[in-house]
Copies of this chain bind each other. A is one copy, B any other.
Amino acid sequence: MPRAGLDPAAVVAAGAALADEVGLPHLTMGLLAERLGVRTPSLYKHVGGQEDLNRRIAALALGEAADAVGDAVRGWAGRDALAAAARTFRGFVLEHPGRYAATIGVEPSGPDDPVAVAGRRLLDAFTAVLRGYRIGEHDVDHALRTLRSLCHGFATLQAARGFRWSTDVDESFDWLIDFADRGLRAMENTPP
């Protein structure tokens, strides 16, 4: 009987892919094992259990999102950068709803936790967008949280089919980008 040749990274990657396919709540150790051509207990040679698997999927997702948003923003500034970041982020969540869902509610164990590191990289990518606006030093954290809330809120609501009536969702997202751009510019030059 040939060996499957798994390692933690392969298990996590397959888990993330499967979560995207069937939805995080339906990601089960048995289903993942089947997908990998292995019996369930074998997975425990590579990951510590369901919670550990979830954390690793979360770190993977945050890292991928950070890469995607960072790449998309590079070379742009102001409204262009904002639009690129927002669209890329939403695209990532819609393409990978399962692994993104895994990021919600994970508590990093410390500053060196891969989840914390990747999360910080994603925030950095959004911070870069804000540099194109004259936000006062003291307001950058607020603006970052607000921008994150906007993108996270829209993307997760759409991924959960939360926008039910007929108006075109992509059009709404364009409107949102316009709204954010104008809102950020309206917040410029506020004294610290």
Contacts and interface: CB of A to CB of B under 8 A. Distances in A.
Contacts of A187: 175, 178-179, 182
Given A107-B161, A186-B182, A149 B167 contact: no
A112 interface: no
B154 A171 contact: no
B145 A176 contact: yes
A134 interface: no
A65 B5 CA distance: 51
Interface residues of A, number: 40
Contacts of A164: 108
A148 interface: yes
Interface in A157-176: 157, 160-165, 167, 169, 171-172, 175-176
A1 interface: no
